[in-house]
């Protein structure tokens, strides 16, 4: 699944390592529509359009904890001169109707930081789902091995 690490994520990583800026206690995987294509300069959820909440999707997405369970692959790859981490499989089940509850389907997944106001959550990475996804009642939308790669 193609991914894009944002400049904000790179900035935050440097702050955690070299400035002792506290790392977040939790992160989120949220879903967005194709209304806006994210770029490396996209900073917050307020700059994109999240899918409609309801029917198995909660605004702001699924919470993750920075640990070996929720980020289950962590690799330094000297052969290809990169490092990467993968998110555990993230699954939403549509219940009470289609997911999303209304409007356009999910075209993007976003790894975000925490903030009580979803629109203010900083986007670390964007994952292109290649086409809008609408999940029928009782079915699941599963995102497997979302990977954040730094070259």
- pLDDT at site 4: 84
Question: Domain residues for 73?
Answer: 3-150
pLDDT in tens, 60-84: 999 999 999 999 999 999 999 999 9
Mean pLDDT of the 15-25 span: 95
Contact call for residues 25 and 115 (beta carbons, < 8 A): no
How many folded domains does the chain comprise?
A: 1
Work out the mean pLDDT of the chain and round it to a whole number.
Answer: 95
pLDDT in tens, 88-101: 999 999 999 999 99
* Burial letters 22-43, b for 16+ CB under 10 A, else e: eebeebbbbbbbbeeebeeebb
- Does the pTM of the predicted model rise above 0.85? yes
Q: How far apart are CA 112 and CA 43, in angstroms?
A: 10
Confidence of residue 1 (pLDDT cuts 50, 70, 90): very low
Give how far Cα 73 sits from Cα of 46, 68, 104, Å.
29, 8, 32
């Amino acid at each position: 699944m193609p991914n894009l690490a944002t400049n904000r994520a790179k900035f935050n990583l440097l702050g955690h390592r070299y400035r002792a800026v506290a790392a977040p206690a939790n992160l989120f995987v949220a879903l967005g529509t194709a209304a806006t294509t994210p770029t490396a300069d996209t900073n917050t959820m307020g700059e994109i359009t999240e899918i409609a909440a309801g029917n198995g999707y909660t605004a702001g997405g699924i919470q993750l904890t920075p640990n070996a369970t929720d980020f289950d692959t962590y690799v330094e790859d000297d052969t290809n001169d990169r490092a990467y981490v993968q998110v555990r499989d993230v699954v939403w089940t549509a219940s009470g109707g289609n997911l999303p509850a209304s409007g356009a389907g999910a075209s993007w997944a976003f790894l975000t930081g925490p903030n009580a106001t979803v629109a203010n959550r900083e986007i670390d990475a964007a994952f292109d789902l290649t086409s809008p996804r609408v999940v029928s009642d009782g079915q699941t939308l599963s995102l497997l091995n979302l990977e954040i790669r730094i070259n």
